[in-house]
């Protein structure tokens, strides 16, 4: 794969991360209107699933077809990377605070980097490890980790790390699936099973209680269409075009920077020098992701990782035929 094509893949990943960054400000408004986090998550997944499913049915209904062998894969995808992830993340927020939970969530690139080495045989280089460390350090600074804004409990940290792991598995599940299915098929089924597993814990009817609040449905649509359909679609398309899982997860930390900057624009809050430094570190880690693509230690292991891609789903892109 040429350097030009891989750049395009990481641009898609970055754009998807930017759209994910809009979720925070929109969700904050919905919280203020009285909706619970789990209800917002359910409607986010459900609306996005309906939009993508309708689009696929109209464009090419065969894209909705998956093999029986793949059903369990997508069930686990939705259960772990949507259902369990959201439960652990909100539990971490409840037991600690937002800054702590977000920091623990962004241990995800470390999990992806290690797991991708064994699952997809992606090279584990010194520069890649450095990128993960720089990225995590930047995330800590961006959320105000050195400004006394973090709280720790054993249960809270455990839940936060669990959220980081299940968030990491989203990238790994996606990477395995796009080798066999269209990107939008992957997004659709991850959302469908995610909504199904979130449903018992949510109160969908709650939204109609507050449905007359000005802008509520507009914000729900933004969460579903911009922060889910657009974000997940671009991210998984980037993975399908050859972006490595480990590098993609580092680029995705751009979401946090965008969320913080948008939050400041909305609230009028001024970023401190420490948080600007964190933003710079996240950007540096993303820059490292691309410039090291052609490094000697990367080339040395480049041929070793290709054969294992796609061995986790055995059908041959039935939906794309």
pLDDT at 6 (0 to 100)? 79
Q: How confident is the model at residue 296 (pLDDT cuts 50, 70, 90)?
A: very low
* pLDDT tens figures, 1-10: 555 567 888 9
Instruction: Give the count of beta carbons closer than 10 Å to the beta carbon of residue 173.
Output: 22
Domain span at residue 200 reads 3-309
Buried b (16+ CB within 10 A) or exposed e, 67-100: eeebeebbeebbbbbbbbbbbbbbbbbebbbebb
Q: Count of domains in the chain? A: 1
More confident residue, 13 or 90: 13
Residue 23 in domain: yes
* pLDDT tens figures, 183-222: 999 999 999 999 999 999 999 998 888 767 778 889 899 9
pLDDT at 307 (0 to 100)? 39
Residue 274 in domain: yes
Residue 317 in domain: no
* pLDDT tens figures, 88-134: 988 888 888 777 888 888 899 999 999 999 998 888 888 888 889 99
Residue 151 in domain: yes
Residue 184 in domain: yes
pTM of the model: 0.85
Instruction: Give the count of beta carbons closer than 10 Å to the beta carbon of residue 128.
Output: 25
What does the alpha-carbon distance between residue 37 and residue 71 come to, in Å, rounded to a whole number? 28
Residue 319 in domain: no
What does the alpha-carbon distance between residue 58 and residue 199 come to, in Å, rounded to a whole number? 27
pLDDT at 200 (0 to 100)? 93
**Angle between helical axes of 154-178 and 85-95 (0-180°, round to 10):** 160
Residue 145 in domain: yes
* pLDDT tens figures, 132-167: 999 999 888 887 777 766 778 899 899 999 999 999
Residue 171 in domain: yes
Q: Give the ranges where the chain is alpha helix by DSSP (H).
A: 3-20, 23-32, 37-60, 68-78, 85-95, 98-105, 108-119, 126-142, 154-178, 183-198, 206-209, 216-224, 231-240, 245-251, 254-267, 273-291, 296-305
* pLDDT tens figures, 28-80: 788 888 888 888 899 999 999 999 999 999 999 999 999 999 999 999 999 99
More confident residue, 269 or 75: 75
pLDDT of 303 strictly over 80: no
CA dihedral 220→221→222→224, nearest 10 degrees, is 90
């Amino acid at each position: 794969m040429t350097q030009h094509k891989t750049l395009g893949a990481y641009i898609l990943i970055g754009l998807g991360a930017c759209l994910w960054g809009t979720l925070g400000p929109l969700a904050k408004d919905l919280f203020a209107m009285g909706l619970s986090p789990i209800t917002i998550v359910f409607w986010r997944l459900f609306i996005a699933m309906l939009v993508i499913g309708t689009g696929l049915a109209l464009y090419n209904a065969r894209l909705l077809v998956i093999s029986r062998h793949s059903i369990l894969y997508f069930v686990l995808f939705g259960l772990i990377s949507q259902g369990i992830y959201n439960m652990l993340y909100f539990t971490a927020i409840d037991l600690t605070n937002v800054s702590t939970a977000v920091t623990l969530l962004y241990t995800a690139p470390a999990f992806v980097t290690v797991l991708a080495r064994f699952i997809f045989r992606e090279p584990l280089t010194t520069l890649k490890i450095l990128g993960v460390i720089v990225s995590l350090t930047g995330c800590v600074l961006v959320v105000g980790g050195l400004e006394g804004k973090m709280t720790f409990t054993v249960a809270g940290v455990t839940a936060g790390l669990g959220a980081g792991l299940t968030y990491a598995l989203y990238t790994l599940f996606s990477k395995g699936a796009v080798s066999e299915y269209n990107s939008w098929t992957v997004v659709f089924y991850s959302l469908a099973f995610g909504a199904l597993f979130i449903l018992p814990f949510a109160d969908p009817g709650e939204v109609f209680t507050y449905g007359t609040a000005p802008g509520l449905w507009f914000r729900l649509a933004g969460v579903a269409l911009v922060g889910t359909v657009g974000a997940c679609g671009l991210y998984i398309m980037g993975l399908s075009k050859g972006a490595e899982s480990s590098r993609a997860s580092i680029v995705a930390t751009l979401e946090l920077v965008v969320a913080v900057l948008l939050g400041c624009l909305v609230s009028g809050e001024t970023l401190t020098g420490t948080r600007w430094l964190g933003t710079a570190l996240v950007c540096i880690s993303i820059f490292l992701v691309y410039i090291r693509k052609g490094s000697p230690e990367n080339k040395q292991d480049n041929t070793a990782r290709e054969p294992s891609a796609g061995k986790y789903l055995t059908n041959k892109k039935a939906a794309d035929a």
